[in-house]
Chains A and B, each alone.
Chain A
């Protein structure tokens, strides 16, 4: 008591100004859980951490071997494998897009009742939850081990993500056009065609392209179980120490993926934002000139 009173007024003021930090239970729980996970995993995992120190030296040596063995000779095979990966990814995206499209409108809350929406959502979640590799292995007995197996497996898994994300887009559309079509007597399909699609389609198509980018990576991953493509090409080269194939394969996969990403992201921007202002202006000028021309005879 006496101690508190003897403190200078200034520090008491400071104490008052800065309130005590509230006890953040959420933050502490998260920190504790994460630390426990980290300790448990790193202590019990069967990893030879000692090898980590040798890794940089080995990496340099490996890089030198790659450079020393650099050759353009396997370029044809590497490009063929890369193209196969892209083809698999494209077919997979198409399967996902075509199969998910009708489900989207059943899974959107603003178009259907909960009675319809919930089961469709659950179905989409099931597609989404199963990892591609599991689907691929489950399909091998039916389709054998080949690119089509990979494409179908990735396609099924794409249905889930595409369906869910597209349904969210449809749910976020402006209600106005929907009501307008209803007010002028439009039925279910008319509403879809004239009120929903014009609003949602660009973004849905952009999502398809985005999924294509992801699928290229997934198809490379599935390559190691033998569906073909660049993933299997590089993994086999690593296994058999064919250094010229490893190096070239890496270069091809990096460049091709970045190229597809760049093209796809430009297309996506064009889809969502519409034509660039300059192109828009040019078109408008052209159409105005055309219209004036038409009016001339009058």
Chain B
């Protein structure tokens, strides 16, 4: 071992040299990190404080606020410990979803049942129509698929605008254009589906294998033919998976549409809420939740099979 080299005992190192080794200094934090943390804290304080620019969110007082509830609503919505409430609940489920005259005993003709069916219909139609429109738009929304830069830029801007408008706002606007009912709901969620599927699918287009496209071009294919035969088959599985994902989102989104008059289960929810019939609202929430969970499980298993 080498002789002591300095005042500090050091580990023997294979590159022991004349220059004393030092532990390298830890680099100071990046200005980005510092600015980011400060900005984060400032933004949080501004938005959480109870003043003009904040919503008055106080995490410490929150448990107290939660405990200080509206007893009528709580008892209506989830008074599970009460036997009478449970009996009422079962009775509600029975009157809304069974029909002794029907061959299957089940019936979806009540306000809640038909609302539920309409929600599914709106989601299905919006997803199918929206996805069908989205595939060509997704191709045009990518650098590879657009025939020229202008098309790419125009489609991209339009879709960004589309995505910036929340689905309920679309629904409210379509209610003005085609009046109340399921139709404005279908149209609104179609726009929403286009926004989601085009965005996600065109991101996939940017990462495809260019080989087949070049081969198609070399064989003399037109731009459209090259895209159809060489690009679309590559993005089809992701596209299908995103469309299913959009269906899940649509089923969730369809519940809100009723509040602006665009059909679906939200209409029933809004109706019973305004009647202060919280038990019926609770039934709706429960049944709708079951539906969403079932559809999600099916969709997830199909999506796993796809990609």
Which A residues are within 8 Å of any B CB, using their own CB?
26, 30, 34, 37-38, 40-42, 44-49, 51-52, 54-55, 58-59, 62, 80, 83-84, 86-88, 90-91, 94, 129-134, 137-138, 140-144, 146-148, 151-152, 217, 220-225, 228, 231, 234-235, 238-239, 250, 253-255, 257-258, 261, 267, 270, 275, 283, 287, 291, 298
On whether the beta carbons of A94 and B44 are closer than 8 Å, the reply is: yes
Which B residues are within 8 Å of any A CB, using their own CB?
19, 25, 27, 30, 32, 36, 43-44, 46-48, 52-57, 62, 65-70, 73-74, 77-78, 117-118, 120-122, 124-125, 128, 160-161, 163-169, 172-179, 181-183, 186, 240, 252-253, 255-256, 259-260, 263, 266, 269, 273, 281, 285, 288-289, 292-293, 296, 305
A234 to B175 Cα, complex, angstroms: 13
**A44 partner residues in chain B, CB cutoff 8 A:** 117, 121
Q: If A142-B65, A142-B74, A235-B169 touch, does A91 touch B55 (CB 8 Å cutoff)? A: yes
Q: What is the minimal beta-carbon distance from A109 to any residue of chain B, in angstroms?
A: 17
On whether the beta carbons of B121 and A45 are closer than 8 Å, the reply is: yes
Q: If A38-B128, A235-B260 touch, does A62 touch B169 (CB 8 Å cutoff)? A: no
A141 in complex: contacting residue of B74, B179, B288, CB < 8 Å: B74
A143 to B43 Cα, complex, angstroms: 23
Q: What is the minimal beta-carbon distance from A92 to any residue of chain B, in angstroms?
A: 9
On whether the beta carbons of B124 and A38 are closer than 8 Å, the reply is: yes
Q: What is the minimal beta-carbon distance from A265 to any residue of chain B, in angstroms?
A: 11
Main SS of the interface on chain B? Answer: helix
Main SS of the interface on chain A? Answer: helix
On whether the beta carbons of B256 and A52 are closer than 8 Å, the reply is: no
Q: If A47-B182, A142-B65, A224-B256 touch, does A91 touch B57 (CB 8 Å cutoff)? A: yes
Residue contacts A-B, CB under 8 angstroms, 10 given? A45-B122, A47-B183, A48-B179, A90-B44, A148-B56, A220-B166, A220-B169, A238-B173, A254-B161, A270-B32
On whether the beta carbons of B177 and A253 are closer than 8 Å, the reply is: no
On whether the beta carbons of A231 and B255 are closer than 8 Å, the reply is: no
**A239 partner residues in chain B, CB cutoff 8 A:** 172, 260
On whether the beta carbons of A87 and B32 are closer than 8 Å, the reply is: no
On whether the beta carbons of A142 and B118 are closer than 8 Å, the reply is: no
Q: If A38-B125, A275-B32 touch, does A231 touch B177 (CB 8 Å cutoff)? A: no
**A238 partner residues in chain B, CB cutoff 8 A:** 172-173, 175-176, 260
On whether the beta carbons of B255 and A133 are closer than 8 Å, the reply is: yes
B260 in complex: contacting residue of A45, A224, A287, A291, CB < 8 Å: A224
Q: What is the minimal beta-carbon distance from A253 to any residue of chain B, in angstroms?
A: 7
On whether the beta carbons of A45 and B118 are closer than 8 Å, the reply is: yes
A234 to B266 Cα, complex, angstroms: 18
**A26 partner residues in chain B, CB cutoff 8 A:** 305
Q: What is the minimal beta-carbon distance from B66 to any residue of chain A, in angstroms?
A: 5
A231 to B125 Cα, complex, angstroms: 24
On whether the beta carbons of A87 and B54 are closer than 8 Å, the reply is: yes
Residue from B160, B181, B183, B269 having most chain A Cβ neighbours under 10 A: B183
Q: What is the minimal beta-carbon distance from A86 to any residue of chain B, in angstroms?
A: 7
A286 to B305 Cα, complex, angstroms: 52
